[in-house]
Amino acid sequence: MSFSKVPILRHGLVTRHEAIFPDELMTERIKKVRTFMEEKGFDCLLIYSDPRSNGPVCFLTHYPCFGLGRRAVVVLGKREGPYLFTTEPSRNLPRVRLFTTCDLEKTRQFLTASWDRALSLAGAGKIGLVGFEELPFGLEKEGVIPKDHETEDVSYDYLRLMAIKDAGAKRAMREATSLAYKGINLLTERAKKGMDLWQLASEVDYTLRLAGCEDTNILLGGRRAKTLRPGYPARPDILTGDFLVAYVACIYARYLGVAGRTINIGIKEKLFREKMALLEQIEEEILRTLRPQMTVGEINTLIEDWGKRLQVPLARDIPFVSGLGFDLGEYPKEESDTIEANMTLELCLTADFAEGFTGMRVTSIIVERDGSLPL
């Protein structure tokens, strides 16, 4: 059985959120990136984003590639910029300029124009690149970036820098997480056997958007799939089982908050509570133990050890831990990635219990200097 996500068009609720991201905070972000450029010896930094990887551009401009389905490039010089180049249609520019934090450069050849601007700022100096190693088909960098100009890909380092959340990011993610839990609570109240999961998800989606959510990802299923990010099902799904696996991701002020739970429909309550309490216990132990400077691999090992100790059949086809911010699966996500203070993570614990149901517990967490807490 597939998960269900409602194919609802985005309603365009994209605002500036000046109370969360004032000009002073965006200026501090730019200073932070310029310090990074100085350490790397760059005269200019060129950053690419599209709906697959929304964060790098949004971090400096508040422009949501994901929410608008656009491609964009930011150019940042030592003293100039940031300059935003995008594929945004001209008719949208007046509205878009209301929620970006820098002026938007509109041109049909946005990639070529952004590189020309970078060359004018850097001269013969070194240029750093973010996101250009994975340009989609049709946007090959050959022919745009001169081969004789010195460049260096610093995507990994930039994403790591971006993963350390400032006050605005943490506030936005707390709001987004609160909305995600609101979605879980609504699903818990409404879910019953025989319901159309598309209809159920659409009701929750509508409610969350009314509450200020910019976009949602609501995934529902009668059993766990191998991925929580599938496409649309071929037809509506009817809830026929004794439990519902529910995952809700909400975007607020460009940032994500997530929550996931198994909802009991017809399982004996005592059995259900006992099994779900085991996942909650593992989560509590991880929050108590997780500290800065641990690696993702060390956390994975810790989770597996607790699973064995409590005899919980944890599934490994969904990552236990990955970075959370503008997108799912941000830094840190590889086994060797180091976690630092003020990073935010998605903690995902799933288990296929022998009693015939799947338990899932997904929590947004923040790593602090002396421990970790749910957002």
pLDDT in tens, 301-354: 999 999 999 999 999 888 999 999 999 999 999 999 999 999 999 999 999 999
Can you give the pLDDT at residue 16? 83
The number of beta carbons lying within 10 Å of the beta carbon of residue 284 is 11
pLDDT in tens, 93-124: 777 888 888 878 766 688 888 989 999 999 99
- The dihedral region occupied by 172, where left means phi > 0, alpha psi between -120 and 50, and beta the remainder, is alpha
Contact 176, 251 (CB under 8 A): yes
C-alpha to C-alpha distance for 360 and 315, rounded to whole angstroms: 10
Contact 180, 151 (CB under 8 A): no
Can you give the pLDDT at residue 39? 97
pLDDT in tens, 156-193: 999 999 999 999 999 999 999 999 999 999 999 999 98
Radius of gyration of the chain (CA): 22
Q: Residue 205: helix, strand or coil by DSSP?
A: helix
Please name each of the domains of the chain with its CATH number: 41-163 (3.40.350.10), 167-374 (3.90.230.10)
Question: Whole-model pTM?
Answer: 0.90
**Angle of the 167-190 helix axis to the 197-210 helix axis, nearest 10:** 140
Beta bridge partners of 373: 366
Q: What φ, ψ does residue 269 adopt, rounded to 5°?
A: -60, -40
User: What is the bridge-based pairing of β-strands 104-106 and 83-86?
Assistant: parallel
C-alpha to C-alpha distance for 19 and 96, rounded to whole angstroms: 18
Contact 253, 166 (CB under 8 A): no
Task: Name the band, by pLDDT with cuts 50, 70 and 90, for residue 2.
Answer: very low
